[in-house]
Amino acid sequence: MVPLQPGGRTENPLPGTEGAGSRRPRGHGCRTAGTQSRELPAPRCQGLAKEEEVFAAYVTITVVTIVANAWAAGADLAQPNWLLANMDEVGVPRSWLLPLAVLKGAGAAGLLLGLLGVRPVGTAAAVGLVLFFTGALATHLRARAFHNIAVPGTYLALATASVALTVAAH
C-alpha cells in the first residue's frame, strides 16, 4: 500500500498516474486521525469506530455518574429535610450521613481519577459504588419504601454501567 498524505495524495504516484493530486478510490477503508493520516482496511476501520463509540459512552456515563454522586454527597452534607425524612423512613441512622457522604464523594473522586488515567482506581471506585447502591437498594426493599426506590436504582444503574464501560473501554 502506498503511504498517503493528508487529503488523499500519494507520496509515490502509481505508474500512469504521475502528477500532483492523484487520489485513491474512496469507500474502501477509513483514515486515521492526526497528521500522519493513513488508510485502514474496512474491517479494521469498523473496529476503530466501535472502539470510539465505546470510549465516548464510557466518558459520558462516567461523567454523569461522577456528577450524580458528587451531588448526592453534597446533599448528605447539607442534610435537607426530604433526605432526613427518607433516611428515617428506611431506618438509616442520621449519624451515618457523614460516612455515606464520604463514600459517595470518594466514589466520584475515584471515577474522576479513572478518567484521568488511573484506571485501577476508577475501576475500584465504580465497583465500590455498585456495592454501595446495592446496599441502598436492599435497604429500601427491606423497609418496603417502594415509592422512591427509583432513586437508588438509578444510582445503581449508573454505577453498573460505569463498571461495564470501564472494562469495555480498556
pLDDT, tens only, 23-60: 444 544 555 555 565 565 555 566 677 889 999 999 99
Q: At 115, which CATH number?
A: 1.20.140
Q: Which of 68, 67, 60 has its CA nearest to residue 165? A: 60
Question: Are residue 10 and residue 72 in the same domain, yes or no?
Answer: no
Q: Domain for residue 111, yes or no?
A: yes
Ordered alpha helix ranges (H), 116-149: 119-142
Question: Are residue 53 and residue 32 in the same domain, yes or no?
Answer: no
Q: Domain for residue 42, yes or no?
A: no
Greater confidence (71 vs 50) lies with: 71
Question: Are residue 125 and residue 97 in the same domain, yes or no?
Answer: yes
Check the CA dihedral 20-26-32-34 and report its sign: positive
**What is the average pLDDT across 103-122?**
97
What pairs with residue 41 in β-bridges? 29
Q: What percent of the chain has pLDDT over 70?
A: 72
**Under DSSP, is residue 29 helix (H, G, I), strand (E, B) or coil?**
strand
Residue 166: CA count within 13 A, CB half-sphere: 27
Q: Domain for residue 44, yes or no?
A: no
pTM for the model stands at: 0.73
**What is the average pLDDT across 86-114?**
97
Give the angle subtended at the CA of 119 by the CAs of 58 and 32, to the nearest 5°: 55
Q: Domain for residue 43, yes or no?
A: no
Give phi and psi for 41, each to the nearest 5: -65, 150
Question: Are residue 101 and residue 148 in the same domain, yes or no?
Answer: yes
Question: Are residue 143 and residue 104 in the same domain, yes or no?
Answer: yes
74: containing domain: 49-169
Of 36-45, 116-125, 140-149, 152-161, the range with the lowest mean pLDDT is 36-45
Mention every residue, 6+ apart, whose C-beta is less than 8 A from residue 134: 156
Count of domains forming the chain: 2
| Residue 116 clears pLDDT 80, i.e. is over it | yes
